[in-house]
């Protein structure tokens, strides 16, 4: 058993019963090739929740502050996460994200860049659009519908992969591509509340 599958088992055995996690749309998740999973961000538990519900291992781009916590740094690095400096263009993180996708792996992003204080969907940052336009990865929108309260249901809904062809053909900006992705996350939230 790999460290990832062990951690997924442990986290799942705690999170799934505690938050009565319900997963929808997992059949839409591509079985192979690069996948960019873009989810809304309502709680610190979002990454492990998406991690335990995804059918494939996910490499998360995570704020660099998390990598300064000794034990947490070890765990999330072993799980394939990598740091991003927030609030600026982090070339290293962008290169690493592109490599994850081009190698046929799954990259997990929270395009808002930070947790929503209100639970409402915020504005997405250009990073999601950057990865979507510069790779052939499948782009999968994901809605997390809370709240995270013990024994209250949390829903994780995976949408169908989005076609980026039209945006690529007309050389849309990364911001526009992100808005397109965010509109699909919003639609999933609205349809599954």
Structure confidence by residue, pLDDT tens digits, 30-89: 999 999 999 999 999 999 999 999 999 999 999 999 999 999 999 999 999 999 987 667
**Packed helices 91-102 and 126-134: angle between N→C axes, nearest 10 degrees:** 40
Our CA angle for 40, 97, 38, nearest 5°, is 15
The residue whose two tokens read 């740091």 is 83
90-128 pLDDT, tens digit per residue, is: 899 999 999 999 999 999 999 998 898 888 899 999 999
Across-strand partners of 138? 35
Structural domains in the chain (count): 1
* Residue-range definition of the domain harbouring residue 117: 3-192
β-partners of residue 156 are: 23, 144
CATH of the domain at 108: 3.40.1130.10
């Amino acid at each position: 058993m790999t460290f990832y599958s062990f951690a997924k088992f442990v986290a799942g055995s705690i999170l799934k019963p505690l938050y009565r996690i319900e997963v929808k749309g997992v059949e839409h998740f591509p079985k192979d090739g690069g996948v960019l999973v873009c989810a809304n961000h309502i709680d610190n538990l979002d990454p492990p929740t998406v991690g335990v519900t995804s059918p494939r291992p996910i490499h998360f781009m995570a704020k660099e502050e998390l990598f300064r916590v000794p034990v947490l740094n070890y765990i999330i690095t072993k799980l394939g996460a990598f740091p991003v400096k927030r609030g600026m263009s982090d070339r290293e993180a962008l290169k690493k994200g592109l490599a994850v996708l081009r190698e046929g792996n799954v990259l997990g992003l929270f395009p808002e860049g930070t947790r929503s204080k209100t639970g409402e969907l915020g504005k997405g940052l250009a990073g999601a659009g950057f990865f979507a336009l510069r790779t052939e990865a499948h782009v999968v929108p994901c809605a997390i519908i809370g709240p995270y309260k013990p024994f209250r249901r949390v829903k994780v809904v995976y949408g169908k992969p989005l076609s980026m062809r039209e945006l690529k053909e007309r050389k849309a900006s990364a911001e526009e591509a992100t808005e397109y992705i965010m509109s699909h996350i919003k639609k999933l939230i609205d349809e599954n509340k």
